[in-house]
Amino acid sequence: MVFVLGIAAVLHLHRSLDREVVTWRRQAACRGADPALFHPDDESDDAAVDAARDVCEGCAVRQPCLEYALSAREPDGIWGGLTAKERRRELRRRRKSA
- The 10s digit of each residue's pLDDT in 5-52 is 455 554 554 555 555 556 788 899 999 999 999 999 998 899 999 999
pLDDT digits (tens, 9 = 90+) for 45-94: 999 999 999 999 999 999 999 999 999 999 999 999 999 999 999 999 99
Tell me how far CA of residue 65 lies from CA of 8, 47, 69, 77, 95, in angstroms: 27, 21, 6, 12, 19
Shortest CA distance to 78 belongs to which of 55, 58, 96?
A: 55
What one-character DSSP code corresponds to residue 40? Answer: -
One-letter amino acid for residue 83 of the chain: T
Q: Domain spans of the chain?
A: 7-97
Question: Dihedral of CA 64/20/36/43: which sign?
Answer: positive
